[in-house]
Structure 1
Amino acid sequence: MSGLSYNRLGVALSALVLVGIGVGTGLVIGQRSGSAGAPAADGAGGRKVLYYYDPMYPDRKFDKPGQSPFMDMPLVAKYADEGGAGAASGGVRIDPALTQNLGVRFATARMGSLGGDLIATAVIDYNQRDVAIVQSRADGFVQRVYDRAPGDVVAAGAPLVDLLVPSWGGAQTEYLALRRTGDAALIQAARRRLVLLGMSDGLIASVERSGRPRDTITIASPTAGAIRTLAVRRGMSVTQGAALAEISGLSTVWLNAAIPEVLAGQLRVGQSVEVGLTAFPSERFTGRLTALLPEVSGDSRTLTGRIELANRGGRLRPGMFGRVVFGGATTSALLVPSEAVIRTGQRDIVMLALPEGRYQPAQVRIGRESGGQTEILAGLRAGEQVIASGQFLIDSEASLSGVAARPIGDAAPPAASPAAGMAMKEPGR
């Protein structure tokens, strides 16, 4: 090949290299210039990108694609034709076929009667106002405990323990000697001393009748009930003021009902209640609400309602489980199924079904709840459609799309049927 040909070939190769460098430089410059500002369009389909976000943290927005700083996953593009700014007023649109596959059920907010009866679970407890504490009135020694044990039910006057009290024997002997002198003043002073030592009038009268001292005394139950504690055993010594036993009366019992916090304002102390017990399913008992305790349980958000029940025959035992019905007046209210209400802790919302397959959350203020229906005090109007099942999935999509919840004060007139052409299914159908 001639030298001229070699020269021409070298020129051609140099030109190709320069073209390649130019093209590569142009691509690099183009990529850098495209990423310098906020995202404008997706290169594949020409769709306008509003921002990028992490699906696990939809409230954090980014103007560039890349890796999520929160999760090990790439950021997702949010396109203008998916909603965004305009969705705040028009809601989020869901394909009707998808809602059908998800089994979404709808309900209509309607005026109805809300039952006034409130039902709460309850457990029987001892009447803490009917408690007797048996104490020793002097130092002594336990001679006998009459085979008693905690949990035994005793009658009033039933013997509990025999105590040997040596100091009482000497005082009684002195009293009997003074009685024989006939000196009324000395006799009265000696008798007063026996009372101050802790002897009962019955014991002193017994010593006077028999003429002999009694240093062993029997301590009996002052009331009928169940022995809660028994702190003595045969052979042990006791001191003055020591608690020997605790007895809880059983003539009346308390029924402690767990009342939901939202229902507490509807009850009043003194009202009559109806009680059903698991142990006696065919019977109904009547009690009276005596107190609403001031403390609310932080775990269950309930407060305790104390109901007093007469315990005829001693059949009602502490620990028995029951159900309390608090009677109340039936009122008219705007109702939706309780399952349609999403409780976030800070607010309550329902998912509205709008025309053309669109949905929007609406903030509501709820009232009472009974029979699976919840009273809507504000934020919704009769005739508006809400989602009764599957609303959590649609609410998540609305959050991703930036759809704002309708404020309570912006409740609109009843909306038309949602998702034209799609069959509406009421709850339970």
Structure 2
Amino acid sequence: MKYHRLVIAAFLVMLLPLSSGLPTYATETPGSQPSDAKKGDVKWTCPMHPHYIASEFGACPICGMDLVKLESDGAAEAASEGQQRTAIVVAPETLQTMGVRIAKAEQTSFGRIVRSFGRISENERLQTEMSARTEAWIEDLRIRAIGDAVRKGDLLFTLYAPEFIVSQRDYLEALSGQSRTRIQSVETRLKAFGMQKRTIAELRHSREVMEFVPFYADRDGTVTMIDLRPGSYVKRGTILTRIQDYSQVWLMVSVSEKDLSFIEPGIPARVTFPNIPGREVFAKVEYVYPTIDPATRTGQVRLVLDNKDGQLRPGAYADVAFEVGTEQRLAVPSEAILKSGGARYVVASLGGGRFEPRTVTTGLISGRWTEIGGEIEAGDDIVVSGQFLIDSESALRESFRKLERLQLPLSLLKLDSAQFAMVDHFVDAALYLHETLTDGYQVEPKFLDPAIEVKTLLWPAFQHTRLAFVMEDAVKAIRDAQAAKTDSEVKAALATLVDAVAPWIREGAPDHYREKKIALWKDDGSARMWLQLEGRELNPYGKGSSSMISYSQPAPEEGAASANAAAEEMPSTKPKTMPGHQH
């Protein structure tokens, strides 16, 4: 029999808003469909799962609660009431004094920003390396050290090599014989030894053997490697010099593996340099390397930067911001957005000196633009300077309105049937915790989840009322109950939960809970309270004496029960009763 009671109790807690006997507070009778449900324009929803909409009355397929009529106007107004702000009128002369500047919300093309860093390196495409293709001796050396600047066509050095002497004589003989095949063959041999086209042309023109073959620079640049001296002997394959053109450089950017998939050639990037304050360069991705560094988990992306003034030096670092996912977005200047209490606002200009703060949601930020959504449309006039003064005036009026709501007694709050059913989940949670203690079974945390969801659903409408304190304290107590490991922790959570909901039960809706036969009890020894159905008293805190609290009596001082939660339980002064919850 005990087992059946536990199974039935758990099942009812999971399905009904008040599992221990408290039905849904709604105008419809459970199990019967109101007559106006047949009308095609009537919709039904679940108080705990408002995203579920049905065209006919019935039960929620998620939690089993009876559906209630969807109140399209009242619920929406209540939900947004806490977010509305007051429109004000500002005189023209005051606007001029405040320095108000107006702009328009407009469609702007930008995307998400991926930030990284990079290192400047030489552009390998602008690099010339000269090596010896035959054994030779350096004669006239015009470049002497790293850093020497050269221009295209400048003489770098001359070489003496026996192969050059022999090949030149063969070339001149071929020219005299005018054998095209022989001329091309010998010319190919000269090129194979490294003789430049310009030098071959000079040889063809002069028809004289050059004892010392000249070598010229084929681009403007700077000597970055040289290990030669006049008269030096060089072997075949020896690197003679390297010339680098720094008019363009590469920026090798390390991009996180998770962001690399967004980067592709042609993506724009903004580059700044810590060592050159104020300098900003715009470039595009030239190449994305196909490998990932296993040590850093980054990939390499290459950009090409112009460097006419030579200020970008290889080895220096740069900060890079890639703009990916570029598309048209509704945006406003970032300075137009105000932050207040976790919400975002812009001040809309309605014309004629009228201004109204409007709630917006913010998205991507790019430069001076911020993507927005919400109560602003493309073309709307918004304030981008001076809006702080306008919003302060509006917020001050709004604060007075919120203060009035906060002082409003719980008994004067207006809740519709769906909202009332949600608040009943807190009472249901208290009844469930009482039953786990008196019937001796463990708390199932998932059975308390619906009560925690209540705060999220009701907060927008009641965050500035006394009901907000009830919800906050109740949710904290319920979370403590879900984490409880011992009976003493469950008892402490129950006491805190009943402390939280007692003002709502006694002041907010006493007739409702009296009709549902919900009784409020207090343990005389510890002053901790609990809720149960009317009937024989079942003290969850021990065997001590207890007394029922009338709804017309003042509630115990807030925190009294919590202060005594860990106190030792008093001896019983009443006859011992049978354990178990009587349904």
TM-score range, shorter chain: 0.3 to 0.5
TM-score by length of 1: 0.46
- Which structure has more strand as a fraction of its residues? 1
The higher relative CO (CA closer than 8 Å, separation ≥ 6) is in 1
